[in-house]
Amino acid sequence: MSFRFAAQWSRSVDSMLMNGRLWATLWTLSKFLAMACISPMDLSLVHIDGITDLVCTVRVFDPEHAEHLMVSKVGSTPFLFDGILNEGFAAYTLFNVRVKQHAPIPVVVASSTSVIMGHHRPSWESLHSVIDLCSGFGGLSQGAVAAGFDIAVAVDQNSLMLELHGKVHEAHNICGDFGNRNVIFEAWKHSRGASVVSSGFSCQRFSRLGDGKGQLDSRASCLTKTLGASFFLNAAVVVLECVAPAANDSFVQAEIARFCQHTVSPKQTSNWTKFGRAADIELGGSCFHRNLGTFN
């Protein structure tokens, strides 16, 4: 029976390869998996007693810390939060909070494992302070410093590259995967309120000299994690650097469009979907984008 099944599967694969259905299926699956790595969740989709992560603002602060009236960034859903908040922040990131109820109004509760990060409104100083993801040895940081920016935090998984980065910049170095909430928290803790996130995300899957597999390469999740970390860090400015062919990649465009959907007003969103020449640098909405494309 197993041999017959294998033979049927083989014929099905051959058939799908002939008409392109397999590649379409693989593209859809890989895109879903990449997006699921660090995807912000709509509160209405989380089941009762489910654990979720939220970025939100406070409408009414409760001094008793039992019923803060808050609004989630994704879906603009109002909810009550039962947990301790430090007053005075413009926005908050809530990691590992539990959904207690959905009706008549959603209630979210903090637990012993919850982590809360506060974010101030961007200032002139914070808009010149950078959290550098995929920092490597500091090439992008070097350009940022030359342009008048300060590098507060550098994050990379390569300890040797971070060691080189530390010889040039005085940033707080973190060796780890910024798709991990603990790494995001460490970056926030040492960021001194930085409002800018930069990332030279992995280029091999888009480069002509690389494997060229695009979203089918598991390393494509680097972009998804970058945008996810930027979302949870409540970044006001995001700088992305990659090889020029990435600007025309459908996966890259879809991930950026999804990020803009949760971070930019509908009036501004249309300005984020048009890509220009690879050498241009422009400021658009609350994000500027280098090498990957230009938002006009």
Q: Sketch the domain layout of the chain as residue ranges.
A: 43-119, 126-288
Give, in degrees to the nearest 5, the angle at Cα 41 between 73 and 72: 20
Q: How does DSSP assign 108-163, residue by residue?
A: EE--TT-EEEEEPPP-TTGGGEEEEET-TTSHHHHHHHHTT-EEEEEEES-HHHHH
Fold of 126-288: Rossmann fold (3.40.50)
Whole-number pLDDT of residue 32: 39
Task: Give the Cβ contact number of residue 170 at 10 Å.
Answer: 10
pLDDT tens for 147-169 read 899 999 999 988 998 898 888 88
Whole-number pLDDT of residue 209: 55
- Percent of the chain exceeding pLDDT 90 equals 40
- Which residue would you say has higher pLDDT here, 69 or 157? 69
Structure tokens at 296: 């006009």
- If DSSP codes are grouped into helix, strand and coil, which group holds residue 266? helix
> Is the pLDDT reported for residue 23 higher than 60?
no
> Is the pLDDT reported for residue 293 higher than 90?
no
Phi, psi of 285 (to 5 degrees): 60, -125
Whole-number pLDDT of residue 50: 92
Residue 138's pLDDT band (cuts 50, 70, 90): confident
> Is the pLDDT reported for residue 43 higher than 70?
yes
Answer positive or negative: Cα dihedral of 182, 151, 204, 226: positive
CA distance 296 to 281: 10
What separation, in Å, do the N-terminal and C-terminal C-alpha atoms of the chain show?
59
Looking at every residue in the chain, the average pLDDT score rounds to 75
Reference 238, options 272, 190, 204; nearest CA is 272
Between strands 91-101 and 115-119, the pairing is: antiparallel
CA distance 219 to 96: 26
Task: Tell me the average pLDDT across 179-193.
Answer: 94
Query: With contact defined as beta carbons under 8 Å apart, do 96 and 51 qualify?
Result: yes
Task: Determine whether domain 43-119 maps to CATH 3.40.1130.10.
Answer: no
Residue 106's pLDDT band (cuts 50, 70, 90): very high
- Which residue would you say has higher pLDDT here, 254 or 158? 158
Greatest mean pLDDT among 89-98, 235-244, 269-278 lies in 89-98
- Which residue would you say has higher pLDDT here, 275 or 55? 55
Task: Tell me the average pLDDT across 246-252.
Answer: 76
pLDDT tens for 190-221 read 999 999 999 887 766 665 655 555 445 555 67
Q: How does DSSP assign 204-239, residue by residue?
A: TTTSTTS---GGGSGGGHHHHHHHHHHHHTT-SEEE
